[in-house]
Structure formats: structure tokens, C-alpha cells
Homo-oligomer: A and B are copies of this chain.
Amino acid sequence: MNNTTTAQSVNAVITSEELLHHWQGHRSLTRRLIVAFPEKEFTEFSIGGMRTASALMEELLHIAAPGIREIATRETIKADFSHAQPKSKTEILKLWDEATEEINHYWAMIPMERFHEEILAFGMYPGSVWSSIFYFIDNEIHHRAQAYVYLRALGIEPPAFYER
């Protein structure tokens, strides 16, 4: 009951710390999804002409830490969505863990009053700080779910969606 009382005293939909924790929970699930892929299928398998899981996960890496760093530092970062050489699970997981730390580092530099500031994400996508960050998270859920279907098509049980 003490927790409830304390929690109810927060007069906000969600705090900055909660949103970071929420996202990192999603990122932890995405990491487990990557681990669940067979190495070969990670870089080769796809459905309906879509990108491979490796390419989808690389896109998420091009967005997450660079996007938060850009917001925190206000230094424009050019969008880089190239994935010429497919990256292995080991490479992606290493970059994933580095991004986890980088997101935590730069997130702490974004004060609450900046979430409604209008920005150009990657120098070209207009929105607010909050709507940009929500886009980063929603886009991760979107592409991860597509990789869920790849795993199912391969006969592999993916990690449970509700476990973060």
C-alpha cells in the first residue's frame, strides 16, 4: 500500500525515468529475440521480400542511440540506414549493448521541460522530443514483431512479448 500511495502522488502520465525504463525493457526483449535466431537465418531469412532480421535490427541501432544523442546534444546526426554488409548476431549484440549504455548516458542529459520542444530528428523528421522518442520505441516494437513472424515461420518459439 505504501508503494501505491507514493506512486499515486506522481501527477503525470509517465515520468522521464519510467519512459527510459519502459524502452530499455523493450530493448531487453528485442535482445532476447536476436539471441533466439539461428546465425544463418538471422542474416539470410526473410518473408515477402522484406529485410532480414539482421537488417531490421541494424535499422533500430541506427535510430536508438544516435537519436537520443542528437536530442541530448542538439548536434544534428545524419540518418544512416545503410546495411551493405549484413552484420552477424555477435556484431549486432555487441552494438546493442553499447547502445544500451549510450541511451542511458544521453537520456540523463534531457531535462523534463525539453520533451515538448519541436525538433528535426536526424535533421529531417519534424516532431517533438516526446513524439520522436515514441517513434523510436514504436518502430522497434514494429520491426521486432516482424522478426517474431520470421522465428515462427522457422518453427522457433520467440520470447514472450509481455516479459521485459
Identify the A interface with B (CB < 8 A). 3-4, 7-16, 18-19, 22, 26, 47-50, 112-118, 128, 130-131, 134-135, 138-139, 141-146, 148-155, 161-162
Measured between beta carbons, the chain B residues less than 8 angstroms from A153 are 47-48
A11 to chain B, nearest CB (A): 5
Cross-chain contact A7 with B138 (CB below 8 angstroms): no
If the complex has contacts A48-B155, A49-B152, are A116 and B146 also in contact, measured as CB distance less than 8 A?
no
Q: Residue on B with the closest CB to A13?
A: B115
New A-B contacts (6) at CB < 8 Å, excluding given A47-B149, A142-B145:
A11-B113, A12-B115, A13-B16, A14-B115, A14-B134, A141-B145
Cβ B4 vs Cβ A152 within 8 A? no
> In the assembly, what is the distance between CA of A154 and CA of B48, in Å?
7
Looking at A13, A14, A135, A143, the one whose CB has the most chain B CB atoms below 10 A away is A13
**Residues of chain B within 8 A of A114, CB atoms compared:** 8
Select one of B26, B118, B131, B134 contacting A4, CB under 8 A.
Answer: B118
